[in-house]
Amino acid sequence: MRSKRIYRRVFFYLLILNILGLSIFLYLNIIKKIPDEIKILVGTEERFDFNMPIKAKIETEDIGVISVNDLSVPSNQISIDLNKPFTLESSKTGKYNINLKLFGLFDFKNISLDVIETVELIPCGLPIGIYVETDGILVLGSGRITGEDGLNYEPINNKLKSGDYILKINGEEVEDKEDLIEEIQESEGKDLRLLIRRNDEEITVRITPVKATDGKYKIGAWIRDNTQGIGTLTFTSTNGHFGALGHGITDIDTGLLMEIKDGTVYAADIMSIIKGKEGEPGELIGMIRQSNKHKIGRIKNNTLQGIFGTIDGNYQWLLNEKPLEIGLKQEVQKGPAKILCTVQDKVEEYDIMIENVDISNSNQSKGIVIRITDERLLDITGGIVQGMSGSPIIQNNKIIGAVTHVFIQDSTKGYGTFIENMVNNIE
């Protein structure tokens, strides 16, 4: 009798655990499939089909502005059933909140509904040389110093961390790593007060330089104050802005998004190509034309969605090319598309296939999966290679995204970001 009670109790607990596990799985699956933000164009009907057991209510004080399934709905009565296909349209730009209820009962998630004007961008595909200076001196890591006494020292141990930015020494700003090295030498081993930025917080640390065997004072920090590389210009806007790369510039050693003080985009020439193969991504080898004559523009922001700035100098002609409307992420479809890129002497269109679209992907640079199908490009590069990041993706005569990453094990495939993720940074 007692063994039966134990068996029933174990069975009950297992049943509860299974229900709990199923609930968590369902919750995470719904979270994954529902985006945090939806954009629609003002005056344009957009269709959605989430097929999720969720009710939604749009919160707005503007009566009759938003219509659902072609019906204008009064304020505070805009209800949507996400288990069925539905359409949204708004006669007015603005930001609205959509409150989701699981099974129509439990508060689940809030979505931002952003109604925007029609946006036109000029797709580019030009190779660019990128030069940026960090906002402060970036600390990459630490190393040991052998002092004059033959002992090993680590002056920055537990004081500076990889990813810190050195802003000031003893109250004086440091412009570049040469300034930092000079201040350390002039300290003659006395304590230095370093103002650093760590995760958006400024703190002060004290570090004592060590006189090394070569007679120079050192603190044992690996540092960087600039970086450069090759990428692709994604678009320009008719009012003089540009976007490129589709992903941010990260430091090769720390893997962190670089905080930049200044940056410039130059014209670049592709000199040679290393073809991609399984396990080894290829690369465009280019020469940066780093002069005022070949300066394309100034970088204003380095973000997770790419680099952004303004066109100037001798490249104003870029603003006179034919613009295309942007395609929002709900418009992107599996099937044929094209990319624009330069792998020889000029920008050309190449055929691709969009194999997957994930409008809710939290990693904004990987919402689209593409495969190169154009034999010309496959013959030249083997697929997607480093330096092609930022190549605009065109579908149905709209610019819908930009190439961001290559699959390491299959260079014919890669990821793209939705163009609306990039547009967020120029609005």
Q: Which residues are catalytic?
A: 247, 374, 389
R_g over Cα of the chain: 27
Residue owning tokens 């030069």:
131
The Cα–Cα gap between 70 and 56 comes to: 17
Count of CB atoms situated within 10 Å of the CB of 149: 9
Phi, psi dihedrals of residue 60, rounded to the nearest 5° = -155, 150
Which of 149, 223, 216, 158 lies closest to 184, judged by CA? Answer: 216
Residue owning tokens 């499939």:
33
- Measured CA to CA in angstroms, residue 264 lies from 74, 154, 295, 316, 391 at distances of 50, 36, 7, 15, 19
Which of 296, 200, 310, 175 lies closest to 257, judged by CA? Answer: 200
Sign of the CA dihedral 359, 361, 362, 367? Answer: negative
Token readout for 317 is: 């002609």
Phi-psi region of 380 (alpha: psi -120 to 50; beta: other; left: phi over 0): alpha
The Cα–Cα gap between 377 and 73 comes to: 50
Residue owning tokens 């595909």:
125
The half-sphere exposure of 265 on its side-chain side, counting CA atoms within 13 A, is: 31
Phi, psi dihedrals of residue 322, rounded to the nearest 5° = -70, 125
The half-sphere exposure of 273 on its side-chain side, counting CA atoms within 13 A, is: 20
3-class SS at 6?
A: helix
3-class SS at 337?
A: strand
- Measured CA to CA in angstroms, residue 90 lies from 34, 39, 43, 69, 349 at distances of 21, 11, 6, 11, 35
The half-sphere exposure of 182 on its side-chain side, counting CA atoms within 13 A, is: 9
3-class SS at 237?
A: strand
Token readout for 366 is: 């990987």
